């Protein structure tokens, strides 16, 4: 199957790799089918491309790449939506965006930590979980800092 992407050009994909978002994404509820791409040899940044809208591509990353650790509960309705079963793998991604303000003359990339993407990797079903009340704590170590995000 061929899909079009303004960012990635025309791409041949296996239809079995399409991720279905039954509710779409907030603000894009009519877009329910996406394909996840990454640069060959690198899985730091992903592109979540709408299968049906060539103009709609989101940048995403694993939160652990930025030392962000989530602790929240997937509710029963969310488990039902994602069709989660014991043994299914749940992938968590954060959407990235370029900040218009520059830091020391350099553009900055920010992640949307309050709205992670959840994907049942086994069934290829996804959703965006909006965390209404979260607590953030930062742990500083010698080399890196970690951000723990917990639902309050």
Running along the chain, 152 residues long, what does each successive block of 10 average in pLDDT? 94 96 96 94 88 96 88 94 97 87 69 92 97 68 57 56
Residue 55's pLDDT is what?
97
CA neighbor of 133 nearest in space, from 118, 152, 116? 152
Residue 136's pLDDT is what?
63
127: containing domain: 2-151
CATH number, domain with residue 24: 2.30.290.10
Residue keyed to tokens 């989101």: 58
CA neighbor of 13 nearest in space, from 59, 51, 40? 51
Per-residue pLDDT tens for 105-146?
Answer: 676 778 888 999 999 999 999 999 998 877 665 555 555 555
126, exposed or middle or buried, with CB in 10 Å at 0-12, 13-18, 19+?
buried
The whole-angstrom separation of Cα 146 and Cα 32 is: 33
Residue 15's pLDDT is what?
96
Residue 109's pLDDT is what?
77
Listing DSSP states for 113-128 in one string gives TTS-EEEETTTTEEEE
The whole-angstrom separation of Cα 98 and Cα 26 is: 19
Quick one: how many helices (H) and strands (E) in the chain? 1, 13
CA neighbor of 75 nearest in space, from 144, 129, 29? 129
Residue 102's pLDDT is what?
60
Judging by DSSP bridges, how do beta strands 145-151 and 68-71 pair with one another? Answer: parallel
Q: Is the CB of residue 43 less than 8 Å from the CB of residue 83?
A: no
Residue 150's pLDDT is what?
62
**Domains identified in the chain, total number:** 1
């Amino acid at each position: 199957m061929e899909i079009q992407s303004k960012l990635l050009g025309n791409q041949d994909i296996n239809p079995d790799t399409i991720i279905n978002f039954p509710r779409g994404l907030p603000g894009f509820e009519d877009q329910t089918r996406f394909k996840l791409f990454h640069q060959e040899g690198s899985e730091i940044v992903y592109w979540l491309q709408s299968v049906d809208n060539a103009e709609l591509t989101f940048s995403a990353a694993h939160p652990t790449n930025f030392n962000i650790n989530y602790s929240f509960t997937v509710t029963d309705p969310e488990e039902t939506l994602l069709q989660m079963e014991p043994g299914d793998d749940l992938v968590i991604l954060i959407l990235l965006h370029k900040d218009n303000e520059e830091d020391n003359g350099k553009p900055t990339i920010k992640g949307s930590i309050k709205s992670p993407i959840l994907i049942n990797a086994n069934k290829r079903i996804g959703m965006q979980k909006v965390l209404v009340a979260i607590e953030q704590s930062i742990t500083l170590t010698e080399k890196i800092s970690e951000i723990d995000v917990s639902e309050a």
